[in-house]
C-alpha cells in the first residue's frame, strides 16, 4: 500500500461510517463512532500519511511494536495528537513495557483481575501521573482460542477495576466477533451479547448507558456493529491492506 492509497481507503471507511451511523435507532444517533486505524505490522510512513489526512486513533496488537512506534522520533514530531489503542493480548511478562508507551489512550483487552492489577501497578510507575483508560474484553463467541471473560464475569471484573485499580478508568467493553458470520441469519449474536453485557453492567453499577462504550466491529463487519451501537470500530486491512505475518 502507498500513502496515497491509505488516504483514499481511509476516506472511504469514514464515509461508510457516516452512512452506517445514519441507520441507527434514534436513541443511538447522539453517539459518533470512533475509528481506530489498526496499523500493526505497517510502517510508520503509512501511519503518518493517515494522521496527516485527519486520523488520530491508531491500534496496535503487539506491545513491542507499540512501544517502538509511539517512541519513534518522526511520529512524535509529526503526529503530536496521536492516540494509541492497545488491542492485543498482553502477556504478564511484558506488562512493564506499557509504562514506556507514549500517548496511550486505552488498553482494550483486560480480561482478568490479575491482569488489571498488574497493569494498574505498571502504570503507576510512569513519571507523568495520569489515569489509563481501559476496556474489558468479553469472549462473546465462547471460542477457546480467544481471550476475554464470559458475560457473567464482566460485573465482577468491572467492580475490581473500579474499587482496586486507582490508575485505571473503565470506559467500556470490547469483543472480537466470530469471523465470517452470515448476516442473512440476522444480527450478529456476538454484538447482541455485548450490548446485553453493557446493559447488565450499567444496571449493576447504576450508571447511564452512555458512560460505557462498546468496541466491536472490524474491517468485515464494522458497519453492522455501528448499526447495533458500537462506539469504537477497529479497522486495519481495509485501510492499510493485508498485513504481513509477524516474524
Q: What are phi and psi of 33, to 5 degrees?
A: -65, 140
Q: What is the pLDDT of residue 178?
A: 83
Q: What is the pLDDT of residue 11?
A: 97
Residue carrying the nine cell digits 496488537: 61
Q: Produce one character per residue of 38-76: b if its CB has 16 or more CB atoms within 10 Å, e if not.
A: bbbbbebebbbbbbeeebbbbbbbbbebbbebbebeebe
Residue carrying the nine cell digits 494509541: 84
Q: What is the pLDDT of residue 244?
A: 65
Residue of 118, 140, 130, 127 lying closest to 189 (CA atoms): 140
Q: What is the pLDDT of residue 30?
A: 79
C-alpha cell read off for 182: 452470515
Q: What is the pLDDT of residue 236?
A: 95
Q: What is the pLDDT of residue 247?
A: 52
Q: Using an 8 Å Cβ cutoff, are 197 and 173 in contact?
A: yes
**What's 138's DSSP letter?**
B
Residue carrying the nine cell digits 507514549: 102
Taken in order of first residue, the domains within the chain and their CATH numbers are: 3-235 (3.20.20.10)
For the chain (247 residues), the mean pLDDT of every run of 10, in chain order, is 95 96 86 94 96 98 97 98 97 91 97 97 84 97 89 97 97 92 92 97 95 96 95 96 67
Residue of 81, 30, 40, 46 lying closest to 64 (CA atoms): 40
Q: Per DSSP, which regions of the chain are E strands? A: 34-38, 57-60, 83-86, 104-110, 132-137, 168-174, 213-215, 232-235
Amino acid at each position: 500500500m502507498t500513502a496515497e492509497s491509505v488516504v483514499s481507503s481511509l476516506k472511504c471507511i469514514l464515509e461508510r461510517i457516516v452512512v452506517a451511523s445514519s441507520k441507527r435507532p434514534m436513541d443511538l444517533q447522539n453517539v459518533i463512532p470512533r475509528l481506530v486505524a489498526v496499523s500493526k505490522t505497517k510502517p510508520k510512513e503509512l501511519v503518518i500519511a493517515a494522521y496527516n489526512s485527519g486520523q488520530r486513533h491508531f491500534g496496535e496488537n503487539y506491545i513491542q511494536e507499540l512501544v517502538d512506534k509511539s517512541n519513534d522520533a518522526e511520529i512524535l514530531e509529526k503526529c503530536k495528537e496521536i492516540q494509541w489503542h492497545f488491542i492485543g493480548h498482553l502477556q504478564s511478562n511484558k506488562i512493564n513495557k506499557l509504562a514506556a508507551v507514549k500517548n496511550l489512550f486505552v488498553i482494550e483487552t483486560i480480561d482478568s483481575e490479575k491482569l488489571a492489577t498488574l497493569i494498574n501497578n505498571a502504570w503507576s510507575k510512569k513519571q507523568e501521573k495520569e489515569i489509563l483508560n481501559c476496556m474489558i474484553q468479553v469472549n462473546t463467541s465462547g471460542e477457546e482460542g480467544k481471550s476475554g471473560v464470559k458475560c457473567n464475569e464482566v460485573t465482577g471484573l468491572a467492580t475490581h477495576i473500579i474499587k482496586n485499580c486507582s490508575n485505571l478508568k473503565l470506559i467500556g467493553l470490547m469483543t472480537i466477533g466470530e469471523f465470517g458470520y452470515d448476516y442473512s441469519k440476522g444480527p450478529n449474536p456476538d454484538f447482541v451479547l455485548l450490548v446485553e453485557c453493557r446493559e447488565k453492567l450499567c444496571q449493576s453499577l447504576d450508571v447511564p448507558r452512555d458512560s460505557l462504550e462498546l468496541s466491536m466491529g472490524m474491517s468485515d463487519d464494522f458497519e453492522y456493529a455501528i448499526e447495533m451501537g458500537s462506539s469504537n470500530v477497529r479497522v486495519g486491512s481495509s485501510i492499510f491492506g493485508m498485513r504481513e505475518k509477524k516474524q
